[in-house]
Each structure stands twice: as C-alpha cells, then as structure tokens.
C-alpha cells in the first residue's frame, strides 16, 4: 500500500476508537506537580520561572479586568507548547495540525472577548467598526469590511497554527525521505541532507513554541480591545 505524505495528519484510531482524546490528555500527565516544600527541584523552579515571565509579558499591558484570564491563557499556552513539541517526536500524532481542533480553541475564546466587550462597553466595542473621521460615502463600506475582519479573526488564529505546523511536518518528512533514498546512492549528499534535517528540526522546535505564544498573544490583544 502506498502511503501519502499527508497520512501522518490523520487522526489515529485503535479498534475504531479515535485516539485524539488520549493525545490531548497525555500532556497534563507530564507536567510536574507543585509541592509544599520550601525548596523545589530544578524542573519545578524552571517551570515556575517560565510561567511567571510569560504571565508578566502577556498581561502587563492589560487592565486589571483582563488579569482574570491569566490562568486560562497561561494554561492554554503550556498546553499548546506541549502538544506541538510532542508532535515532533517519531511515531507521534500532533493534534494541533487538525484545523477543527484549533478552531475549537480559537472560536470560543474569541467569542468570549467579543461578548465581554459588548457587555461592558458596547459603544467602544461597536466603535471599532467605524474609525473616527470616516467620510460619509465610505461609512457603509467600512462597516462591512471591519465586520468581516472581526469575524475572520478566529479563522486566522486556527489556520495560522495549523498551516505552520503542517508545513513544518511535511518539510521534515520530505527531507527525511530524501536522506534515506540518497544514502545508498550518494552518501555525501545524504549526509548533507541529514544535517539540513537536523537544522530544520531545531527550527521546528522554535516554531512550535513561537506559534503557541503567538496564538495566546493574539487572544490577549483581542481581550485588550474589549476590557
């Protein structure tokens, strides 16, 4: 049977049972649990430092009303980073390459920011649809354009995360296949291809972390507009 390069993005099943739920639940088992000791180990100290730095970086520009989202967005950030990093291991499945899953993350959180803005400050929230000083002839057009751009935001969040991870996984598979094919024919070229594969893997590790950060950062910016 000939396998396609896109078969790696199919949700795995076992006896007809989809295993994506297991892939989503596994990262929570890997996180070290906080202890009541005065001195933590290096892993817990590093985790606490990372969470504190991320929370400070994201929520410093926000008002106090937006700080209620700190636990949710920080947990989402750690969850996405773990899913993306685990997906780079051999014989693993990356749930965040599924657009449906990313949209399930993006749409409710984006909708919550919009509802908060409409409830707390409806005039300010609706004011984003029409910039100040707009000529009268352009008012209907700008309202339509701004409304479309508002509803495209969750789609952009999900597609950005899906496209970047999918492209990286495809490149890694293509270069790995080329290296294995070239090894018996041209060992020198295969070695150079393997070095390129190693460098690309390092790049994908950075992309996995950056894309999770960008996802949460954009959500915080949407929240900043509505609180």
Where does the pLDDT of residue 51 fall: very low under 50, low under 70, confident under 90, or very high at 90 and above?
confident
Does pLDDT of 2 surpass 60?
Answer: no
Closest CA to 205 of 120, 109, 81: 81
Which of 12-26, 172-186, 195-209 has the weakest average pLDDT? 12-26
Stretch 101-105: mean pLDDT: 91
Q: How far apart are the first and last CA of the chain?
A: 55
Where does the pLDDT of residue 39 fall: very low under 50, low under 70, confident under 90, or very high at 90 and above?
low
Contacts 24+ apart (CB under 8 A), 63-69: 63/224, 63/227, 65/120, 65/227, 66/220, 66/223, 66/224, 66/227, 69/220, 69/223
Question: What's residue 4's pLDDT?
Answer: 67
What would the pLDDT profile of 151-168 be if each residue is shown by its tens digit?
999 999 999 999 999 988
Does pLDDT of 120 surpass 80?
Answer: yes
> What's the mean pLDDT when you consider all of the chain?
84
Question: What's residue 177's pLDDT?
Answer: 87
Where does the pLDDT of residue 184 fall: very low under 50, low under 70, confident under 90, or very high at 90 and above?
confident
Question: Would you list the domain boundaries of the chain?
Answer: 9-226
- Burial string for 177-211 (b: 16+ CB within 10 Å, else e) reads ebbeebeeeeeeebeebbeebeebeeebeebbeeb
Residues in the chain: 227
Stretch 171-190: mean pLDDT: 88
Where does the pLDDT of residue 50 fall: very low under 50, low under 70, confident under 90, or very high at 90 and above?
confident
Does pLDDT of 108 surpass 90?
Answer: yes
């Amino acid at each position: 049977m000939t396998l396609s390069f896109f078969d790696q993005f199919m949700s795995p099943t076992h006896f007809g049972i989809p295993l994506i739920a297991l892939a989503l639940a596994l990262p929570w088992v890997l996180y070290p649990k906080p202890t009541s000791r005065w001195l933590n180990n290096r892993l817990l100290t590093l985790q606490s430092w990372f969470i504190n730095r991320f929370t400070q970086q994201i929520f410093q520009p926000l008002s106090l009303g937006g700080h209620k989202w700190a636990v949710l967005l920080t947990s989402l950030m750690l969850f996405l980073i773990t899913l993306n990093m685990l997906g780079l291991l051999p014989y693993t499945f990356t749930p965040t390459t599924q657009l449906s899953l990313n949209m399930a993350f993006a749409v409710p959180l984006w909708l919550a920011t919009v509802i908060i803005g409409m409830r707390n400050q409806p005039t300010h929230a609706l004011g984003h649809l029409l910039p100040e000083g707009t000529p009268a002839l352009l008012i209907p057009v700008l309202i339509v354009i701004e409304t479309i751009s508002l509803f495209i935001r969750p789609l952009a969040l999900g597609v950005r995360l899906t496209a970047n991870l999918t492209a990286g996984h495809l490149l890694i598979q293509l270069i790995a296949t080329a290296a294995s094919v070239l090894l018996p024919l041209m060992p020198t070229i295969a070695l150079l291809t393997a070095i390129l594969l190693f460098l690309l893997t390092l790049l994908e590790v950075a992309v996995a972390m950056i894309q999770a950060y960008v996802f949460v950062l954009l959500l915080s910016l949407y929240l900043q507009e509505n609180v």
